[in-house]
Amino acid sequence: MRLRCAVLDDFQQVAKEAADWSSVTGEVDVVSFDAHLPDEDALAAALADFDIVVTLRERVAFPGSLLTRLPRLRLIVASGMRNSVIDYAAAEAHGVTVCGTASSSAPPVELTWALLLGLARGLVRESNGLREGGPWQQTVGADLHDRRLGLLGLGKIGSRVAQVGLAFGMRVSAWSQNLTRERADEVGVELAPSREELLRTADFVSVHLALGERTRGLLGPAELALLKPTAYLVNTSRAAIVDQDALLAALHEGRIAGAGVDVFDTEPLPPGHPMRTAPRLLATPHLGYVSQANYATYYGQAIEAIRSYLAGSPVRRLPAP
């Protein structure tokens, strides 16, 4: 019997074009889903007849309760080498192998700067005005040179964001709970003495932390109140690091100049969600990892994982040691 592989959240219908699937299609039928499956019941119904699932990032959770309802499932390939929404113990108990892929930090760095620059120079408002016959010049851009960029997190992504900020002539400072002066010196940025001081002094704040118990809700009402009224906040990391209600309140009340957001509490964002219409918000539909090179890696290595699994030697198994 031929195997069946489901490719989830292939919104642009490019999974089969991004890589060459011919090495597995002799044994595997590949079916892509261009619409998000929103809950466990929908997933259980849609995936009941599939042996393999390819899933992007952490958008779709695979708890034990779902895996129990998918007795045919034998392999999950998730893009990236870290996934917090798969129950690995349940997967092992149900005989499901989980594999990952490489993932480049370059695309989220680039999108971070697209959002930051778009906010600073009012690009959406100015472009729409020009196209629609509106006023000639409506905004006065915020300068980057000699302004302070505050980074929450200085890992692979945060450090690359820092380098771009330095190239713009910005004064860059960083903070995280484990950040050392040695690491800050290595990147060439200042170590902020505290999270509060970073928020009080920054003209632009960008979030580059992994989501965990210590970072969930890290920026709540009290922390957002520390930002200057002229400051901008950018979050391309995880929505839950920033209190969403507090952010919406700050935007509606004009307590910060604006925010650039690529991540949301529910994805895809439902119609009518307040984030879709919030003022002073430049929002994108989680495009941080969405690039031609990353998709070629994701799907190319997913194919490799399927081929290796079929040969009895799975590669890049998760959780990674």
What's the CA gap between 150 and 206, in Å, rounded?
6
Selecting among 267, 273, 316, 317, the annotated active-site residue is: 267
Active site residue 286: yes
Selecting among 57, 147, 148, 238, the annotated active-site residue is: 238
* Amino acid residing at 273: H
What's the CA gap between 250 and 291, in Å, rounded?
31
Contact 218, 152 (CB under 8 A): yes
What's the CA gap between 31 and 7, in Å, rounded?
6
Active site residue 125: no
Q: How does pLDDT run across 229-279, given as a tens digit for each residue?
A: 999 999 999 999 999 999 999 999 999 999 999 999 999 999 999 999 999
Selecting among 147, 148, 160, 286, the annotated active-site residue is: 286
Phi, psi of 269 (to 5 degrees): -70, 125
**Per-residue pLDDT at 321:** 67
What's the CA gap between 29 and 4, in Å, rounded?
5
* Amino acid residing at 228: K
What pTM value is reported for the model?
Answer: 0.93
3-state secondary structure at position 77: strand
Active site residue 182: no
Q: How does pLDDT run across 69-103, given as a tens digit for each residue?
A: 999 999 999 999 999 999 999 999 999 999 999 99
Block mean pLDDT (10 aa), the chain, length 321: 96 97 97 96 98 94 98 97 94 97 97 98 97 96 98 98 98 97 98 98 97 95 98 97 98 98 95 97 97 98 98 94 67
